[in-house]
Structure 1
Amino acid sequence: MRFLGHSTVRMELAGHVILTDPVLTPRVGPLVRVVPPLSPEAWAGTDLVLISHIHGDHLHLPSLRLLPSSAVVVVPRGAGQWLRRRGIRNVSELGVGQELVHGALRITATYAAHSGHRWGPRLTHGPHAPAVGHIVRTDDVRIYVAGDTDLFDGMTALGPVDVALLPVWGWGPSLGPGHLTPQRATEAVKRVRPRIAVPVHWGTLALPGLARTPRMRRLLTEPPLEFAAAAGPAVVVTAPGAEVPLRQGI
């Protein structure tokens, strides 16, 4: 498993290469990548892509176009037609509770407490598809990929899991609704009960001018450390671009 930055994680499971919410380029709209760029080997061999929701920093068309055309792109129900019109053909949709079998993998979409609108929670026009998380299962491993979410009723039923990929911040100086802070991610650990919790959605993207301010420099580094201090030894903090040091048996 490798944390590529923001919400993008590369997982190699049961002979497959999975990418979550791939953001692979130096820029994402007005945001810039503030950690070292990725090389093509980071996404080589991808055959399954999990998209949690259609915000531009999670469903990023330039990044999807870098991937093999044979990769299956799994999107929230309602987003498939919008994506196909933009040239991404190998698309599957999953609504909450629905399952996709991909070789030896089983992918189940879970509820996520987050805006499903392409342009954010305040606008009502344009594409919309309810946000989801995912449970990824093999015969031996169960992984919770939260996407973007706040705490929600029913989160406890998702656990226990071997690994939870949990967001702990974002890309700006503040968080809107539908996100986990380090403190709320700590509560998510109590509910989901992972053997290992990997903080994601931090330290990767920023607005160019803000990235140099003292407050933003802190927010690019401190949220996962605060999460680890609060949630305890289950948390494995991994820098963007680095391998996640998983324990034996995972």
Structure 2
Amino acid sequence: MVSADGDRAGTPQGFGGLPGGVAVSHLRVYDWPADDGVCGGTPHLHLTCSEAYVVTGGRGAVQTLTTSGYEVTPLTPGTVARFTPGTVHRLVDEGGLRITVLMQNGGLPEAGDAVLTLPPAYLSDPRTYAAATVIPADAPEEERERIARVRRDLALTGYRALREADGPEPLAAFHRAAAALVRPRLAEWRERWRRGAAAASAATGEQLDRLERGDVSHLAEAAVRAEQPSEYGKYGMCGRLDVYRAQ
């Protein structure tokens, strides 16, 4: 599979990522209990990417918080749950929850298109935020798990404050803080989008133009690609991830 930064991805006809420029991963939701007695992952939102869960095993739920309020969506095998940018979400494990995750704009989520619901003091600048959230890839297994647990619990503190807030301003303030945190990376994100999801869409437009002219040459360039995950059991925000190369 050709990555978003590969040579062929720069032109619409050469886009070689997953259909629509999505990203895919396999998720085993954390079964770690929090201090509210609920097992699960780290609450966060995405700023530019919609997300979809295809539940493949176990059971659980996703708690969501938007300007429309708080909701709980049950998750059982066969459920497809999806939500748009700005949705604060917390995955809950009620017994072996397994999910295939589809992310819009492959490459952007991997480049940081997510902000955890940390208390406001941790959202003041990118360095402070990173110190509380980054899990060093070369750290021992025990240390990576410890950091993942600590940041999950810290994000739950901020999440509960947002849920219990009286009025919309605390959530709006979190939105503003999240946007400020990622602003230094927007030029990089735009380039990833251009080479990924935008290129995938442009490729369809080019193919429609060709068919309209009676040109079927792109059909002769058909190709089949397959790959295994590039990493297994990565500590993600919601659980342990089997991931594929970012597109």
Higher strand share: 1
Bigger Rg, which one: 2
Q: TM-score, normalised by structure 1?
A: 0.25
Q: Which has the higher contact order (CA 8 A, sep 6+)?
A: 2
**Which structure is higher in helix share?**
2
